[in-house]
Structure 1
Amino acid sequence: MNDLISAILLGIVEGITEFLPISSTGHLLIAERWLGARSDLFNVAIQAGAILAVTFIYWRTLWSMVQNWRRPETRDYVMKLAVAFLITAALGLVVTKLGFKLPETITPIAWALIAGGIWMIVAEKVAMNRPDQVAISWRVAILVGLAQIIAGIFPGTSRSASTIFVAMLAGTSNRAAATEFAFLVGIPTMYAATGYELLKTFKQGGAAGEDWTGLAVAFVVSTIVAFVAVKWLLGYIRSHKFTVFAVYRIVLGIALLLLLPAGG
């Protein structure tokens, strides 16, 4: 029962933090200090639950892309999504082959939260001084793909924060347009990551040791919570800046450094 409650709580943490620019991986690593460590498959799979929620939210947009594929502007947008995804996938495989591991201490996550919060404040101020631009350029697509890898290598950076603010700084100054592109790129990225982890788990014979019940419950919880969180965020950013999230990151990072000076 305790394992199930732990899985539910981790699903809630993931659902809230995956698309808010505060780092889901960082929060999960912190939460696992108290709720117990989980497998890489578990962590990736509940992230996929959050991605499923975004798929539901953007299903009209995705279907419109299929229906209007022949239109040049639609093909152009889809190709940019594909390029951003392929950059992430290719570099992600390289990082995996090199044996990259997530940090075992909280200290680097705390510093990433602080640095990311400061960067968000600066980046939004810079973007605000530029003309409102909703178009996605090839430069934006390439940099968003690279930003996803950076966020994966440095937990606490936040995939959503990295991609949204890279897009805003690279030319898409409109918050809503940058956020939508970042979220849509995340859909194939996280589904691919989940599929890769599933394949690796079965090939290595780890399926028998996986807590599939806990994983399934956490996946459902993450999906539901993420749906609510993203709906709220999309409404919030129409009339608010990201400053509150930046301040939260900085405060949390400082608190972690003070409470856990040894990074334990």
Structure 2
Amino acid sequence: MNDLLAALLLGIIEGITEFLPVSSTGHLLIAQHWLGHRSDLFNIAIQAGAILAVVLIYRHRLLGLLAAFVGRDMRAPHDPLGKDVRPAQVREYGFKLLLAFIVTAIGGLLVKALGWELPDTVRPIAWALIFGAFWMVIAEQLAAKRAAREGERTTISWTTAVLVGIAQVVAGVFPGTSRSAATIFVALLAGTTSRAAATEFAFLVGIPTMFAATGFELLSMLKDGGLGNEDWAALGVAFIASAVTAFIAVKWLLRYIETHRFTAFAGYRVALGIALLLWLPSGS
């Protein structure tokens, strides 16, 4: 297959799956068995392309956060349920995003220092897809029961922020877990019963996380002199494809969760995981 076409397909796969709770890393690892292995920089850069789409979608929210921190007299952003929030609340929300990012950064550096890395074979990804599906259903059921008892809660607590940061590290260590699924459902289990609020926090904290990961990988390759080996044309094609498809996928998901639960995604994960276990050799 033409290398640019393969890169285009990988970018599309990344863009569709990065923010849906189905594991973009798992889908990319599976796709690369047929489309060819890519460098760590390629894989992280196309994730950054998907993050760029989220920056565009949440640009007003991000500008509101910036305005609250610099003290501009600017209309505060709305929470996911449409209620007005005060600048002080916006600043606190921003500090919680920062806390989640710091926890992720420290955890990620610790993981790298200890050399923790699971094999990127399909079988463990399949099991992660299946177990993650059950985790999603349980988390959403518990959140629904709590919402029925206490009403819908959109607040992100400090504890939730820490747990979301840890969830990002866990998702990075276990391919197939899904960063978006891990963070959304940790937030739901930690007391945020609103799917919209949990999803927004998960997506926003992914912005500095993925951009930092891309920058870290780029600096590492600069230090090792590995940038000359990168196919920049293929990376550029994949980056643009990822950004465009992620923009469409996230817009669709945000509308979908207004009236639907995540059950369909759990069913897809189970079906894909079982198919992989049945159809692929045990050593794949």
TM-score by length of 2: 0.91
3-state SS of the aligned residue for 1:109? helix
Gaps of 5+ in 1: none
1:174-222 residue CA offsets vs partner (Å, 9 max, x unmatched): 0000000000000000000000010011111111111111001100000
Q: Is the 8 A contact 2:136 2:266 kept in 1?
A: yes
Please point out which of 200, 213, 216 is paired with 2:233.
213
Deviation at 1:102, TM superposition (A): 4.5
| 1:144 aligned onto 2:164 | yes
What is the Cα deviation at residue 260 of structure 1?
1.3
Distance 2:202 2:231 in 1: 31
The one-letter code matched in structure 2 to 1:6 is: A
The answer for unaligned runs of 5 or more in structure 2 is 72-86
SS in 1 for 2:146: coil
* Secondary structure class of the residue paired with 1:130: helix
Q: What whole-Å deviation, never above 9, does each CA across 1:47-100 have from its counterpart, x for those lacking one?
A: 000000000000000001111235321111000000000000011011112223
1:87-145 Cα offsets, whole Å, 9 max, x none, are 00011011112223342321100000000001111111111011210001011100000
The separation in 1 between residues aligned to 2:57 and 2:89, in whole angstroms, is 22
- Give 2:277's aligned amino acid: L
**2:136 corresponds to which residue?**
120
CA distance in structure 2 between the aligned counterparts of 1:162 and 1:84, rounded to whole angstroms:
13
Report if the CA contact (8 A) 2:104-2:166 is conserved.
yes
Is the Cα–Cα contact under 8 Å of residues 120 and 175 in structure 2 kept in the other structure?
Answer: no
Alignment of 1:64-83 (within 5 A): 64-69=64-69, 70=71, 71-83=87-99
More off after superposition, 212-221 vs 64-73: 64-73
2:253 to 233, 249, 256: 233
Q: In the alignment, which residue of structure 1 is the partner of 2:122? A: 106
Larger Rg: 2
Q: 1:193 aligns with which of 213, 217, 220?
A: 213
In 1: Cα distance, 2:255 partner to 2:121 partner: 35
Residues in 2 aligned to 1:21 and 1:85: alpha-carbon distance in whole angstroms: 20
- Is residue 33 of structure 1 aligned with residue 33 of structure 2? yes
Aligned letter for 2:4? Answer: L
RMSD: 1.0
Aligned length: 264
Identity score, percent: 63
Q: 2:194 maps to what in 1?
A: 174
The TM-score normalised by the length of structure 1 is: 0.98
SS class of match (1:157): coil
- AA aligned opposite 2:96: K
**In structure 2, how many angstroms separate the alpha carbons of the residues matched to 1:42 and 1:242?**
29
Residue matched to 2:22: 22
Q: Distance in 2 between matches of 1:155 and 1:58?
A: 27
Map of 2:81 onto structure 1: none
Distance (whole Å) between structure 2 residues aligned to residue 263 and residue 76 of structure 1: 48
